[in-house]
Structure 1
């Protein structure tokens, strides 16, 4: 009967067939691995090249932004020095030296000081009686200002303070005292060594020409944008903007409807985070305690082995460690 017969088939391979099959499988695996490795290398190479290109582009764009900032800052500095110097009827080099020397001495607002000096001396030259009567007829320029400083420096402290306050006000007198407390000649010789005033003034003049050129270009760019964007806006951009903002409003209104629920969810999440942080802190403290206990036990073992403590002392120490 069929159920009484059990036919057992034992698959066998001779050594040559087994070796052939092994070589074939190894060959297949090698080809697959090589293809995967090749594809991976190509992919990594593409990523590397892409990253290098992106990095190079970003670097160039970043450098352009830095150069644009440097141009703007430099031209703004030219305009600032020129306008402030003209406001005080000084040459750019004179204003630059006086203001920078004052800053080195600790004065933050040289312009206010020099304005007070000019106003008082102009009033003097119109015939009024002022603390600057001794300088009547002189121009309110750099040389007269330095003469005033020398005069205050030579006066006794009380006269100097009264004179400074009457010319510059109480706050201004504090700044004048900063100028009088240092050796301005020494500071000037160190700060302005090698400075050519003529070249400085020429640089400011060239800088102002460049600044005007920039402003002219900005005016032309502004006109071009107004014309171009006017045509774009007539093409429906404003309507699309309104549609977009309405969609934003709808989205925000939906969010506001669910504000309470959202706030509760966030509060719950914060509570979970707080509990998690507390649990982590407790775990860390527990681990630190175990680590300390292990270190103390190891030290007690070392002392016991070296004969520094007895078995009784060891038992007492280790017993107290884990209390």
Structure 2
């Protein structure tokens, strides 16, 4: 990507500020879903775009098979894995060369760094650089850039549900949709709006329908056949990355550890009486948080709970005013019983 300093820290002098690409060859033929990149950032760089590109004579070509948003705000100042989901899921052929290419906005003070391996340990690809990926003129990095490409996976589906708005999935079965619907296969459904699909069966459609195969369907609007069915919806990135969760856990652990439950019937130093209030954080709790009798926990720092959170009977979690820098993080990442949580 632009302003990549070098493939491996430390390096001096800095490598030219360039666009960077890594090639790979899949071991099997299947669709590409997402990629992980080993990144860190300097300053506050803008978002970038990851492109999956076909090979052309041993370098990235101009045929873009898929793209994905690289959310710079999810990249930390230390190296970590970032997942980028592809907007489409193209089928890649086994033992065929493809390229992951990243292009970012030029900024000497705010940039992304793609970590790599100067020993060239990956034998099915290599790293290259260019002043501009769209122009070409690629040269060798003499290093591999760290990546993971995920292929295959099951077709997404919606089954036995009601959706007030519009819905899109590869397969829909026994559904009621108030708006429009897009699918490869629609079976046993009532759709209030229009439908675009390859195959529809046992359905009632209030609006228009575009399809290739129809069996036992009632359509209120116009019918179009043959048609090109819609592409599967792209996988959406989770708003909170594993690196962010790990950083929050470290913040909590820096404040010490409580071994046992907190709240109602909690251990010494973490017991909250009925109608009582406790201010806590940062802290790691090797146990559960139970607020069951009009109790209040005031969060003054990040809290990492290895057990579950149970809030009932007028109890509440509040933020201390001194915890304002983290005002947006007021709920548990995993607010379910028998799972760890960070608040």
Shorter chain as normaliser: what TM range? under 0.3
TM-score by length of 2: 0.18
Higher normalized helix content (fraction of residues): 1
TM-score by length of 1: 0.19
Higher normalized strand content (fraction of residues): 2
| Greater C-alpha radius of gyration | 1
